[in-house]
Amino acid sequence: MFNNPNTGANINDRYLNFEEVTNFMEERIIVIGYVTKEMILNDGVIFFQISKEEVKNKDYDRVDKMFILLQATKKHGRNRILMHFDYDDDPREIYEINEINLYISRIYEKYPFLFYYLVTSERQFMPFMLSLMGVKIVEKNTHTTRVEPIDFEKAKEVRNTIAQNILDYCKKLDDLEGAKTLLSNIFADN
């Protein structure tokens, strides 16, 4: 099961819970347009919203431009992107929405180092990981959702590939401390 009560985030090597992350407005940059190099070089989380239209139209223009900048700024973007899909009127989790799963899968195919840049809050990385794995709902109530992989071997492969991609990218950036921090935060209790 992928059900972890710890919903914290590590931002700039400070351990914060998810509510603290989403509440520090003065340190958060909300992006509905394009991410800029200046945004990445400033401290704080970049809240990157992807619209339904972008998902339905398979429009990756803003995502592509963001990842070009993230790659150019290297370590500055680590653990900084909080990606949000504008499906607030849909009560399902993102991993329950097939078109989002396909969108995330395409992002990950293009940018296998995706998880290097995502905020390591469980509420950020876990839905992305579950989207890539393919899961079924085992139990759902108002407080929790428990899921299981549809294919346990695929889930294991996805998890291992994410870890290896983070490690490879950190080596490329000479950021082994980043690898240690990211991998311990992402896979600590799973």
Instruction: Note the pLDDT of residue 28.
Output: 54
Residue 43: pLDDT over 80: no
CA 75 to chain centre: 16
| Mean pLDDT score of the chain | 83
Give the tokens for residue 156.
């294991």
Instruction: Note the pLDDT of residue 8.
Output: 36
Instruction: Note the pLDDT of residue 44.
Output: 82
**pLDDT level of residue 189 (50, 70, 90 thresholds):** low
Instruction: Note the pLDDT of residue 124.
Output: 83
**pLDDT level of residue 26 (50, 70, 90 thresholds):** very low
Residue 58: pLDDT over 50: yes
Helix axes 122-133, 152-172, angle to 10 degrees: 120
Question: How many residues are present in the chain?
Answer: 190
**8 A C-beta contact, residue 166 and residue 159:** no
Average the pLDDT over 137-153 and give the result: 89
**8 A C-beta contact, residue 137 and residue 101:** no
pTM equals 0.81
Instruction: Note the pLDDT of residue 10.
Output: 32
**8 A C-beta contact, residue 80 and residue 119:** yes
**pLDDT level of residue 31 (50, 70, 90 thresholds):** low
Q: Which class for 167: exposed (0-12), middle (13-18), buried (19 or more C-beta within 10 A)?
A: middle
With residue 154 as reference, give the H or E element that holds it: helix 152-172
With residue 10 as reference, give the H or E element that holds it: strand 8-11
Residue 139: pLDDT over 50: yes
Domain spans, the chain: 8-187
Provide the β-strand partners of residue 147: 137
Q: Higher pLDDT residue, 145 or 29? A: 145
**pLDDT level of residue 78 (50, 70, 90 thresholds):** very high
Q: Which class for 183: exposed (0-12), middle (13-18), buried (19 or more C-beta within 10 A)?
A: middle
What totals of helices (H) and strands (E) does the chain contain, helices first? Answer: 9, 7
Which range, of 9-13, 51-55, 132-136, 157-161, averages the lowest pLDDT?
A: 9-13
